[in-house]
Structure 1
């Protein structure tokens, strides 16, 4: 996977078309676009689409400052069909327009070329189980919240706090499938979505596909498949967020599994507010 990601970086550097054929590239390298984008985002700490835009605008700025053609020429060379679209992308990265950059020489924000390297220290011990699950129904109370990579998500906290204690008890009684207990589920998010993107958070339980579902609950249906279950204990939420990162940096590059589309599920075995013993369930398939 590390070699594939570096080959993708090389493709970004040499492609001038408006869109990079990430799906075709993934097929040629024996993986999927979904898994590739998820791994890139986790390791680079930015979506692939954002990296492509930053690199193109970095090269475009250098050409403008050097006087290598007018603004339209530079825009076309970097895959933009209009000066207006190019100008919006340029300003989003650099904070100034292309005409200003050409005239004043900056200030400009440079995105260096990324290079991925595999750490072999095994710094994060990982307790992992591959578990097959049948078709499931996840039911509970859902809400749209923004994606936050670091720290506690206050909107999720508010959502959970608004659920009455009696409703938690009812959900626990409803659950009749693995993973058991109250679950924190995130779904409906693109594989390389930037921070702030809206996702669906569901606070609920797992039911067998044939079990009746109360009309007042939100529903997520889960296809049959394999799940990688990562166990962790430690300070909350840092331990869980570090575990997420370690799956990309240490586990997936070293194992014949890749992510498949589907929600991520967290099951809390113990939770005291600032400490958690939990399991992270990720949908996977053999690579």
Structure 2
């Protein structure tokens, strides 16, 4: 059973209590950072948001069945007061707990049902190689994304490609997609579409400089189509990294696209670099 499966089991069996990321991580036998990244990469939402949604969804079903005491229900699901529970409930579902109980119907609410996952869903990847990178400087476009809504990244690359002519000559032909400033609670991250530049290079207007600190990386190569990148990343974080015996370090991870990658067809393969301790 991989860490994500363990986390799903733990949440389902403890969601009536006020559980924390640290508690779920201990039960999943990985660090809180590893679990938070894994869950977000696999499912597109943060673990703690999933915990809140499952808790509120279970409460909504009890309300529609006629729960008599909303305060007791709020306390059962880890909320300290009727007011705190009502605020969270209305923020998520757009209606009050009282209205659901009065109507005795939760069918129109966007409830979160339990997520199930099988290891057969994951891609099988070759073991990574390990590389140590020195300090590197990049220039590129940066956007903030939620993991569940990162569909704008291809368009970001198109916009960046149009600016590359102002950056010639390049240090190398490789391009990098760098993920950093990961928010464990919200499942958000900054993404740079960029290329390496000299440390003191002048950055063209509209682009941002990013300095990558020295770090050891586990490097996973994948020779398939770029459309499979989310599946590759999910397989790395949920299974391949742990099986390789490496623990992720808190820091940027990135995609690397070499000269063999064809941005027009999406073929040629790519690499995923994960910072490790």
1:271 aligns with 2:270: no
- Alignment map for 1:123-162 (pairs within 5 Å): 124-147=123-146, 151=151, 153=153, 155-162=155-162
| SS class of match (1:163) | helix
Q: Deviations over 1:56-80 (max 9, x none)?
A: 1122113323333332332222222
Q: Deviations over 1:70-116 (max 9, x none)?
A: 32332222222343432232234444321111000223444333444
Two-structure CA RMSD over aligned residues (Å): 3.2
Residues in 1 aligned to 2:254 and 2:31: alpha-carbon distance in whole angstroms: 21
Q: TM-score, normalised by structure 2?
A: 0.79
Q: Which runs of 5+ in 1 are unaligned?
A: none
Q: TM-score, normalised by structure 1?
A: 0.76
Conservation of the 8 A alpha-carbon contact between 1:2 and 1:117: no
Quote the residue 1:112 is aligned against. Answer: 113
Query: Of 242, 267, 274, which residue of structure 2 is paired with 1:282?
Result: 274
Conservation of the 8 A alpha-carbon contact between 1:9 and 1:115: no
Quote the residue 2:222 is aligned against. Answer: 232
Conservation of the 8 A alpha-carbon contact between 1:6 and 1:115: no
Quote the residue 1:186 is aligned against. Answer: 179
- Alignment map for 1:1-287 (pairs within 5 Å): 2=2, 5-6=5-6, 9-11=9-11, 13-14=13-14, 16-18=16-18, 20-27=19-26, 30-106=29-105, 107=107, 108-119=109-120, 124-147=123-146, 151=151, 153=153, 155-167=155-167, 169-170=168-169, 172-173=170-171, 181-191=174-184, 193-194=186-187, 197=188, 199-205=190-196, 212-214=199-201, 216=203, 218-225=209-216, 227-236=217-226, 238-269=227-258, 270-277=261-268, 278-285=270-277
Residues in 1 aligned to 2:239 and 2:64: alpha-carbon distance in whole angstroms: 41
Q: Which runs of 5+ in 2 are unaligned?
A: none
Residues in 2 aligned to 1:35 and 1:141: alpha-carbon distance in whole angstroms: 27
Conservation of the 8 A alpha-carbon contact between 2:250 and 2:275: yes
Residues in 1 aligned to 2:158 and 2:175: alpha-carbon distance in whole angstroms: 17
